[in-house]
Amino acid sequence: MFHSDHNPPHFHARYGSYKAAIRISDFAVLEGYLPPRALGLAIEWAEIHKDELIKNWNLAREKMPLFPIEPLK
């Protein structure tokens, strides 16, 4: 997530040289590409941390510091 990001609320995921922006509400890929397995892991992580992602999005909109979100275990 970046403080200057545009709507809709989304997060950025990277896997090797691949990058994607993923919408928080329904986990649709807005732009970019991740291989299917990496996309599945990113979505699994996002489902677990959806509330935290939304809180961070709101903090980013207010130019406030974001809090870390645990990785998928």
- Model pLDDT for residues 9-27, shown as the tens digit of each residue: 999 999 999 999 999 999 9
Using the predicted structure, report yes or no on whether residue 4 has a pLDDT greater than 90: no
Contact of 44 with 29, CB cutoff 8 Å: no
Q: Does residue 53 form part of some domain?
A: yes
Using the predicted structure, report yes or no on whether residue 73 has a pLDDT greater than 90: no
Q: Does residue 68 form part of some domain?
A: no
Q: Does residue 72 form part of some domain?
A: no
pLDDT digit string, tens, across residues 34-52: 999 999 999 999 999 999 9
For the chain, the domain total comes to 1
Q: Does residue 1 form part of some domain?
A: no
Q: What integer pLDDT is reported at residue 1 of this predicted model?
A: 80
The average confidence (pLDDT) of the chain is 95
Domain containing 43: what range? 10-61
Contact of 1 with 9, CB cutoff 8 Å: no
Q: Does residue 55 form part of some domain?
A: yes
Q: Does residue 71 form part of some domain?
A: no
- Nearest CA among 61, 56, 32, 62 for reference residue 70: 56
Q: What integer pLDDT is reported at residue 35 of this predicted model?
A: 98
Q: Does residue 67 form part of some domain?
A: no
